[in-house]
Amino acid sequence: MATRLSRTESYSLLALSLACFGILANTLQGEGEPLIASIAFSGLAFSFCYALIRWLGNAFMHRGFKGKDLCKLKQTEIPETMGAVCAMVYLSIIVVFIPWPFYKDIVAATSGGGNRDVMKEIEQVETGRLLHRFPHNKLASYLSAILSLQCIVLLGIGDDLFDIRWRHKVFIPAIAAIPMLIVYFVDFGVTQMVVPTPLRPYLGELLDIGWLYYVYMALLSIFSSNSINILAGINGIEVAQSLVIALLIVFNDCLYLFVTPYPHPATDSHLFSLYLLLPFIGVSLALLMHNWYPAKVFVGDTYCYFAGMVFAVDGILGHFSKTLILLLLPQGFNFIYSAPQLFHLVPCPRHRLPHLNPRTGLLECSRAEFKKPLTRPIAESLKLLHRLRMLDVEVDKEGTVVSCSNFTIINLWLVWFGPMREDQLALGLLGFQTAVGLMGLFIRHRMALLVFTQDNL
Ligand code: UD1
Ligand code: MG
């Protein structure tokens, strides 16, 4: 990989950064305009991340953060764990952004800025009595989000360094979720679920599930991080799927912010969601430009965990965790479909990514080979899946199952549509994901009336 930026790249990044700095300086003249500032910060996040990935690639290789691109004829080594660069840029940016969303409140609470003419007793200033006007709970939410994300990044880098075992790393996100869950507990403490209309005669309108709600939120964090990590293995797919989810959430946020009459009760939480997502889109785009086929860097598990946690934090603190689940349906399907291999009912090789046929240059589904014969119920289930076209099973002359395609939707896609080039495969899967996501949002807002009495849009 070229470690230096080309002249065009340097000038473009410089121009973008200067424009963003200009916009930021401008927001300080007025009321802070946090949304505009957030967009400018996202532009900066993109430029910094793009340049740093280039500059740091070799340093990462020297420290052993490298991996072989398994789906290529010539398996050269390229830098891995570039997600760590993304995460660091992202975290710095959202930390520097903190004053903006609270600018107005800081001014009001400290009687500075627009309120300068308000006279204050010296005593009041010292005891900070006026600070009750400051929305500490909002700041706490924001800080807890940052803390949770920092936790996951640390744990993710640990995983990339030491290759933690699957059964242990599944729980990594639950630990990282604790700061956010505590703030949720103290601040909102809402543990009720709206019951779908058909079930109301039995359960009532609202069902309080108490502490189980916290289990649900911790599970959501575990699911969203790990499900992105196992829908992986071809160039660009980890980052691009995260970008699709992020863009769909942003679209949903915009529906609340710009389409519904202002002020909507959910305005603040959707603004909060945008503040967290826009810089994420910035750093992810920069990473995608280096990770798309043919990849020049790998993202590492750090990125997958980090991206999943951004969504979990966003969905939980933004109060749209159910909508988030709708957007994670393809990942959910991949998770359930993978279960036989994840729980070792069927042998699971270290890597399940597709296999390159060197003669055609196209990817084919990779297979799990069975040295020992499978037990009867499992063998019969696999054959049934084969008949349903949900798996490709190979049997020998006696009818014993000798191998089957690995249980991921990436391989299933190849079973359905035949061998194809790596980027076509990625594009196909992303198109599918976008379609499912849009349908999910449509169902969320249009059909919600069938199962709930009202849509909260
Ligand atoms: C998960 C998957 C594994 C898949 C791997 C690929 C499960 C249970 N685990 O494991 O099946 O093979 O992700 O990321 O589903 N690589 C490529 N091309 C790519 C991306 C990755 O060749 O586009 C290879 C590289 O050699 C890279 C390695 O995969 O070094 C990274 O694998 P890692 O993220 O450590 O695997 P897991 O997350 O443990
Ligand atoms: Mg991985």
Of 91, 181, 95, which Cα lies nearest the Cα of 139?
95
Per-residue pLDDT tens digits for 223-272: 999 999 999 999 999 999 999 999 999 999 998 888 777 667 788 889 99
Q: 137 CA to middle of ligand 2, Å?
A: 35
Domain membership of residue 181 (yes or no) is yes
Instruction: Determine the pLDDT at residue 187.
Output: 78
pLDDT tens for 326-374 read 999 999 999 999 999 999 999 999 999 999 999 999 999 999 999 988 9
Specify if 362 maps to a domain: no
Query: Is residue 391 one of the residues assigned to a domain?
Result: no
Q: How confident is the model at residue 87 (pLDDT cuts 50, 70, 90)?
A: very high
Please report, for residues 70, 231, 363, the alpha-carbon distance to residue 422 in angstroms, rounded to integers and kept in the order given. Answer: 11, 14, 6
Domain membership of residue 270 as a residue range: 7-327+426-450
Predicted pLDDT of residue 256: 86
Indicate if the pLDDT at residue 25 is higher than 90. yes
Pocket residues: Cβ below 6 A from ligand 1? 67-71, 80, 229-230, 232-235, 295, 298, 301, 351-353
Range of lowest pLDDT (47-51, 127-131, 147-151, 367-371):
127-131
Q: How many domains are there within the chain?
A: 1
Q: Which amino acid is at 249?
A: I
Residue 357 lies in a domain: no
Residue 134 counted as domain residue: yes
**pLDDT score of 202:** 84
Has residue 403 been placed in a domain? no
Distance 449 CA to ligand 2 centre (A): 39
Ligand nearest to the CA of 166: 1
pLDDT (tens digit per residue) in 388-403: 999 999 999 998 999 9
Better-scored residue on pLDDT, 162 or 435: 435
In a domain, 70, yes or no: yes
Average pLDDT for 430-438: 97
Question: From the CA of 300, how far away is ligand 2's center (Å)?
Answer: 6
User: Which of residues 112 and 404 earns the better pLDDT score?
Assistant: 404
Please determine, for residue 10, whether its predicted confidence score (pLDDT) is greater than 80.
yes
Which residue's CA lies nearest to atom 4 of ligand 1? 351
228 within domain boundaries: yes
What's the rounded mean pLDDT across residues 35-59?
Answer: 97
Atom 29 (ligand 1): residue with closest C-alpha?
A: 233
